[in-house]
């Protein structure tokens, strides 16, 4: 009985370390296997990802690839929408299930709070050597975040927020490997300067964005801006 308990505990510990300790063991793995380039990743996953993307776009009746892409994430329902933009026309192409998004509703405030940020962001880099398969880095904290962190007296609002693969999150949007291969491929194809990201606590069409109790006044301003931005996307 004791032996079985020890074995089970060991297996659980190994599983948790594999899932949540990737930042520790994955760099060692990379040293052993060598780093990949974005081109390596696109060559390996791009063809399959593009075939799936083309089907999504055909179903939506939109030309592939788009001129621009908008990703809209809703934290409470764990949904991420892919919108294609041609000129001023915007069309919902596909909806992904977010596999994990740690924290509660409400914006990210400090390093280590494990909150997924809320607001309007840009993609500023592609990481083909992510510990979470592949990842796309957001420009968190953006200028809005920095201004209000300074006003609140918060010196460390946090950093290194990604949309990535796998199904574990410590403040990022974990999409699973298949989804991130598609998003990574499309972002590489159209250029990350043509990708924008909106992260909202909830869908304004389903319910009002409620400011968490005890929040600073700027959160109400942020939620009004998010709602207005989503309205522009949907009512173009």
Q: Is the dihedral of CA 13, 76, 58, 187 positive or negative?
A: negative
- The pLDDT of 46-67, averaged and rounded, is 98
204: Cα separation from own chain's centroid: 19
Higher pLDDT pick, 193 / 4? 193
**Is 180 within 8 Å of 163 (Cβ atoms)?**
yes
Q: Residue 62: pLDDT band by 50, 70, 90 thresholds?
A: very high
CA–CA gap between residue 170 and residue 20 (Å, rounded): 9
pLDDT digits (tens, 9 = 90+) for 146-181: 999 999 999 999 999 999 999 999 999 999 999 999
Q: Is the pLDDT of residue 28 over 80?
A: no
* pLDDT (0 to 100) of residue 34: 61
- The pLDDT of 47-61, averaged and rounded, is 98
CA distances in angstroms from 150 to 20, 107, 214, 233, listed in the order given: 31, 15, 18, 30
Q: Is the pLDDT of residue 54 over 50?
A: yes
Q: Residue 9: pLDDT band by 50, 70, 90 thresholds?
A: low
Burial call 147-185: b when 16+ CB within 10 Å, e when fewer: ebbeeeebeebbeebbbbbbebbbbbbbbbbebbbbbbb
pLDDT digits (tens, 9 = 90+) for 10-26: 554 444 444 555 555 45
* pLDDT (0 to 100) of residue 207: 86
Instruction: Residues 37-234: name the CATH superfamily.
Output: L,D-transpeptidase catalytic domain-like (2.40.440.10)
* pLDDT (0 to 100) of residue 27: 55
Domain boundaries, the chain: 1-34, 37-234
Query: Where do we find the tokens 């998004």?
Result: 101
Q: Residue 236: pLDDT band by 50, 70, 90 thresholds?
A: confident
CA–CA gap between residue 5 and residue 9 (Å, rounded): 6
CA–CA gap between residue 6 and residue 101 (Å, rounded): 31
* pLDDT (0 to 100) of residue 12: 46
**Is 186 within 8 Å of 126 (Cβ atoms)?**
no
Name the strand (E) or helix (H) holding 97.
strand 89-97
CA–CA gap between residue 173 and residue 136 (Å, rounded): 10
pLDDT digits (tens, 9 = 90+) for 102-144: 999 999 999 999 999 999 999 999 999 999 999 999 999 999 9
Fill in the DSSP letter of residue 134.
Answer: S
CA–CA gap between residue 159 and residue 227 (Å, rounded): 24
**Is 183 within 8 Å of 192 (Cβ atoms)?**
no
* DSSP helix/strand/coil, 90: strand
Name the strand (E) or helix (H) holding 165.
none
């Amino acid at each position: 009985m004791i032996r079985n308990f020890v074995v089970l505990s060991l297996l659980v510990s190994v599983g948790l370390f594999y899932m949540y300790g990737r930042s520790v063991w994955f760099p060692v793995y990379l040293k052993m296997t060598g780093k990949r380039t974005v081109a390596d990743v696109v060559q390996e996953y791009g063809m399959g990802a593009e075939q799936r993307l083309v089907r999504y776009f055909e179903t939506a009746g939109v030309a592939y690839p788009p001129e621009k892409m908008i990703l809209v994430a809703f934290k409470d329902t764990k949904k991420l929408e892919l919108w294609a933009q041609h000129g001023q026309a915007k069309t919902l192409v596909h909806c992904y299930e977010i596999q994990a998004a740690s924290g509660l509703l409400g914006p990210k405030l400090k390093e280590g709070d494990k909150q997924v940020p809320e607001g309007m962001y840009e993609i500023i880099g592609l990481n083909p050597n992510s510990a979470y398969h592949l990842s796309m880095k957001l420009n968190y904290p953006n200028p809005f975040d920095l201004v209000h962190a300074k006003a609140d007296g918060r010196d460390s609002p946090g950093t290194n927020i990604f949309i990535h693969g796998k199904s574990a999150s410590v403040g990022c949007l974990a999409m699973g490997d298949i989804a991130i291969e598609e998003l990574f491929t499309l972002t590489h194809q159209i250029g990350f300067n043509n990708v924008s990201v909106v992260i909202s606590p909830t869908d304004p069409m389903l319910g009002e964005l409620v400011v968490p109790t005890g929040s600073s006044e700027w959160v109400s301003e942020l939620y009004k801006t998010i709602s207005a931005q989503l309205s522009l996307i949907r009512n173009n």
